[in-house]
Chain A
Amino acid sequence: QKEVEQDPGPLSVPEGAIVSLNCTYSNSAFQYFMWYRQYSRKGPELLMYTYSSGNKEDGRFTAQVDKSSKYISLFIRDSQPSDSATYLCAMTPPGHDYKLSFGAGTTVTVRA
């Protein structure tokens, strides 16, 4: 069983819709939780970074962490065609915060 599970999709939504992405994990020691966005043939770029349970909002993006359920989510409001990309969740335990464990990534297409 992988440490981090992420539905690979693909996910296709109309412009303006809310995109909901999820990851589950098995290691209860994970402490830092990240979402990366990766455009086709580009490197991943850090989108959201959270340390604890709860919500974090940044513009149209909201990251949620539920440590009791070992579940993290990313919501994209008012989605735009420019949001079309692969979204990767990543997480890391304390004391080893350089060892990122990645999900497989979910490919999202926002249709104009």
Chain B
Amino acid sequence: NAGVTQTPKFQVLKTGQSMTLQCAQDMNHNSMYWYRQDPGMGLRLIYYSASEGTTDKGEVPNGYNVSRLNKREFSLRLESAAPSQTSVCFCASSPLERERAKAFFGQGTRLTVV
């Protein structure tokens, strides 16, 4: 019963480096999301994919890009990492409309940019 699986769990990057965070869900959910969590700020939406083949910007998309590879997988890419991107990144998924607010989260990736 895996749910939402993210890799890696921890990552340290140097300023300017690039990397991709991977996310996969096995619940046959249509919608997938990437959030970031910063101390005292709750979770903020980076990007979302309402369904396979579509992606849209959330509240804090700058410095990130996403790819919805298929229904199961949704990756987050940092093209040129910046210290302001130090945060915990969470991938989430949710089922069909009228249930989309019920998001299921992965365990998170602790990202540090030095």
Task: Please list the residues of chain A having a beta carbon within 8 angstroms of any beta carbon in chain B.
Answer: 4, 6, 8, 32, 34, 36, 41-46, 49, 88, 90, 92, 97-100, 102-105
B33→A43 contact, CB < 8 A:
no
Q: Which residues between 17 and 39 of chain B lie within 8 Å of chain A, taking CB atoms? A: 31, 33
**What is the CA–CA distance of A88 and B41 in the complex, to the nearest angstrom?**
11
CB contact under 8 A between A104 and B103, given known A42-B108, A98-B94, A99-B45: no
B74 beta carbon closer than 8 Å to chain A:
no
B53 beta carbon closer than 8 Å to chain A:
no
**What is the CA–CA distance of A43 and B43 in the complex, to the nearest angstrom?**
11
Q: How many residues of B contact A (CB 8 A)?
A: 26
**What is the CA–CA distance of A45 and B102 in the complex, to the nearest angstrom?**
10
**What is the CA–CA distance of A36 and B94 in the complex, to the nearest angstrom?**
14
CB contact under 8 A between A43 and B100, given known A88-B43, A102-B43, A104-B40: no
Which one of B48, B50, B108 lies within 8 Å of A43 (CB-CB)?
Answer: B108
